[in-house]
Homo-oligomer: A and B are copies of this chain.
Amino acid sequence: MELPEAKQKFIEAWGKLGSEWGVNRTMAQVHALLLISPDALTTEDIMESLSISRGNANMTLRELMSWGLVEKQLKAGERKEYFFADKDTWNIARQVAKERRKRELDPIIKILDELTKVEGDKKDPAYQTFNKSVTDINKLAKNVDKTLETMLKADENWFWGSILKIFK
């Protein structure tokens, strides 16, 4: 396989993976494109490479910046804005974990905490089942939360070293 074809495949695969994980396809593709570009790209470059409109490119880039995955780069003596992606995979994973925790895990834990407190007739099977499921899910969510918390603070080698050591 030659490089241009390989690039295409990578962008396609990353886009597909994104859309299976709640990230819009174009956003994942722009990210992929920037990940394999040695230099920062302009909005025009991205529009052309991926055949998308200016509006779409602009929105997507802002979204990627809000996720902390892409940054603007200003070049001296140039009006145009250039964009580049953080290439450090561990940073990317951490950044994504951080954002999703904030956006999704935190809110559900808040709701589960409330629901855990709901009182009811301890003899009522409906109440028992509700309470057990909610409590169990809450525990799981908190374990995940703790693990993420540690991951966010950790260094990559240490993290995988520790995890994989357990699983030797």
Q: Which residues in chain A, 134-168, are within 8 Å of chain B measured between CB atoms?
A: 134, 136-137, 139-140, 143, 146-147, 149-150, 160, 162-164, 166-167
Q: Is the interface of A mostly helix, strand, loop or mixed?
A: helix
Q: Which residues in chain A, 78-110, are within 8 Å of chain B measured between CB atoms?
A: 87-90, 93, 103-104, 108
Query: Is A76 an interface position by the 8 A CB rule?
Result: no
Q: How many copies does the complex hold?
A: 2
Query: Is A77 an interface position by the 8 A CB rule?
Result: no
> What is the distance, in angstroms, from A128's C-beta to the closest C-beta of chain B?
7
A129's partner among B9, B37, B104, B140 (CB-CB below 8 A) is B37
A35 x B143 contact (CB < 8 A): no
Query: Is A54 an interface position by the 8 A CB rule?
Result: no
Among all A-B residue pairs, the 8 with the closest Cβ atoms = A38-B125, A150-B167, A89-B136, A38-B129, A6-B118, A36-B130, A162-B166, A35-B133
A-to-B contact residues, CB < 8 Å:
1-3, 6-7, 9-10, 13, 17, 19-22, 35-39, 87-90, 93, 103-104, 108, 111-112, 114-115, 117-118, 120, 125-130, 132-134, 136-137, 139-140, 143, 146-147, 149-150, 160, 162-164, 166-167
